[in-house]
Amino acid sequence: MSTRNKSGSDNKKHIHLDLFLSFMKIGIISFGGGYAMLAFLQREIVEKKKWATNEEICDYFAIGQCTPGIIAVNSATFIGQKCKGIPGGIIATLGVVFPSVVVISIIAAFFKNFSDIAVVQNAFIGIRACVCALIVNAVIKLWKQSVVDLPALALFISVFCLSVFFGATSVVLVITSGIAGIIINNVRRGIKR
Amino acid sequence: MIYLLLFFEFFKTGLFSIGGGLATIPFLYDMADKTGWFTYAQIADMIAISESTPGPLGAKMAVFAGFQTAGVPGGIAAVIGLILPSVIIILTIAKFLKEFRENRYVCDTLYGLRPASTALIAAACASVIKISLFDIDLFNKTGKLSDLFIFFSIALAVAVFLLTNKFKKIHPIVFIAVSGVAGIIAGEAGLI
């Protein structure tokens, strides 16, 4: 983060706290795993805080698919690191898992059959439907940044079909697509020459 | 030293589970066999609770397992063990990415990675839609086409999609909260 104005030094001091709180917020509101989190990342990090672009988020998710660990944590580490180096990465990561630690400890301590309660079940039927719409929105935003030409569209369609209909592993698909990216661009340069 | 053991077991899980929280489940089964910290039935409970609370699934699985074994400190030891490998790996990659962003090969690779990443997220989205808006089990049992669709959920999803695109200023959490309430009301009214 550069110091742009008079309150710059102030911002700098608080950015660690800001990182923690922003990611904590994302940890609280993202129901339905790492992919649902995408919608909130776009809203909080890209549009409001401008800590990363949609393109970068797309890169982080791609890398998160083929490195070990939880995608939500991986993206938090990436964005935190980009803002404030290694401490930033650690702070953002702790922020994103903190609410889970609190919520799960409470549930594990007090509710034996939390998810059997009818009201909870019904609320989650509604929330799941909502999450569907939110993820579709997130995908549309990423689509605009990533499917930029015909070869990219071909890659999108192949990866989607291989994953949905043939159950291909994400790791293999991501690595192959990276190699395909190099080949496509080299062929293109060859044609130009 | 139970905390150290929890930390170490979940560190291994974090290191080898690639591709999101669901990838941790097979490791939990192994852990149940090996350590007896929790049973298979408790893992099933864990998955159900994880799916109906906010936050990343893998982290919640670790907290729940750790808590069952050794209370709050156990939960913390397990979740830190789980996230530590990926934090170290990502910090390393992030540094590399920063330095080589201008490199031609890195750019070419990212060009290929982006549509793939979007496609994988779209595929995950398709499976969420399949689970949330359609009742395939019931359809297979009865064979009636009307049993395939969960009409309440489909209507709600379409409504949220249209409203989020019309009112872009409203925070998504508002839609989540309203949808939760709508689910409760629909349940009371016998719609679902």
pLDDT band at residue A69 under the 50/70/90 scheme? confident
Whether B115 and B155 map to the same domain: the answer is no
The reply to whether A138 touches chain B by the CB within 8 Å rule is yes
CB hemisphere CA count around A71 (13 angstroms):
30
Count the neighbouring beta carbons within 10 Å of the beta carbon of residue A30. 28
Q: What is the pLDDT of residue A8?
A: 44
Mean pLDDT of B175-191: 91
Whether B114 and B65 map to the same domain: the answer is no
Mean pLDDT of A77-82: 92
Whether B96 and B110 map to the same domain: the answer is no
Pair A40, A32: CB distance under 8 Å: no
Whether B147 and B174 map to the same domain: the answer is yes
Whether B6 and B85 map to the same domain: the answer is yes
pLDDT at A4 over 50: no
B105-123 pLDDT, tens per residue? 888 988 998 899 889 888 8
CA distance A56 to chain B (A): 9
Among B98, B5, B2, CA closest to A52: B98
Provide the residue ranges of all domains of chain A, joining segments of one domain with +: 8-145, 147-193
Q: What is the pLDDT of residue A9?
A: 45
Mean pLDDT of B80-88: 92
Q: What is the pLDDT of residue B154?
A: 95
Domain that holds residue B185: 134-192
Pair A118, B63: CB distance under 8 Å: no
pLDDT at A5 over 50: no
Mean pLDDT of B139-154: 88
Structural domain count of chain B? 3
B60-78 pLDDT, tens per residue? 888 988 988 899 999 999 9
Among A65, A76, A53, CA closest to A144: A53
- What is the rounded distance in angstroms from the CA atom of residue B57 to the CA atom of residue B158? 26
Mean pLDDT of B165-191: 89
Contact B116 A182 (CB under 8 A): no
- What is the rounded distance in angstroms from the CA atom of residue A96 to the CA atom of residue A59? 19
Contact A146 B118 (CB under 8 A): yes
CA distance A72 to chain B (A): 6
Whether B91 and B113 map to the same domain: the answer is no
B29-43 pLDDT, tens per residue? 888 888 888 888 777
Three-state SS string over A74-127 comes to HHHHHHHHHHHHHHHHHHHHHHHHHHHHHHHHHHHHHCCCHHHCHHHHHHHHHH
In chain A, positions 38-97, which contact chain B (CB-CB < 8 Å)? 38-40, 43, 55, 58-59, 61-74, 77-78, 81-82, 86, 89-90, 93, 96-97
pLDDT at A87 over 60: yes
Whether B71 and B144 map to the same domain: the answer is no
pLDDT at B4 over 90: yes
Whether B49 and B118 map to the same domain: the answer is no
Report CA dihedral (A63, A68, A72, A73) to the nearest 10 degrees.
Answer: -110
pLDDT band at residue A154 under the 50/70/90 scheme? very high
pLDDT at A12 over 70: no
Q: What is the pLDDT of residue B120?
A: 85
Count the neighbouring beta carbons within 10 Å of the beta carbon of residue B128. 20
Whether B146 and B110 map to the same domain: the answer is no
pLDDT at B5 over 80: yes
pLDDT at A112 over 70: no
Whether B7 and B93 map to the same domain: the answer is yes
Stretch among A155-164, B122-131, B178-187 having the lowest mean pLDDT:
B122-131
Structure token digits, residue A136 = 């579709």
Give percent of chain A with pLDDT exceeding 90: 33
Contact A74 B48 (CB under 8 A): no
pLDDT at B27 over 50: yes
The reply to whether B117 touches chain A by the CB within 8 Å rule is yes
pLDDT at A65 over 80: no
Contact B123 A180 (CB under 8 A): no
Whether B80 and B10 map to the same domain: the answer is yes
Write down the pTM of the prediction: 0.78
Q: What is the pLDDT of residue A33?
A: 62
Mean pLDDT of A61-84: 85
pLDDT at B20 over 70: no
CB hemisphere CA count around B38 (13 angstroms):
26
In chain A, positions 99-128, which contact chain B (CB-CB < 8 Å)? 99-101, 103-105, 107-109, 113-115, 118-128
Work out the widest C-alpha separation in chain A, in whole angstroms: 69
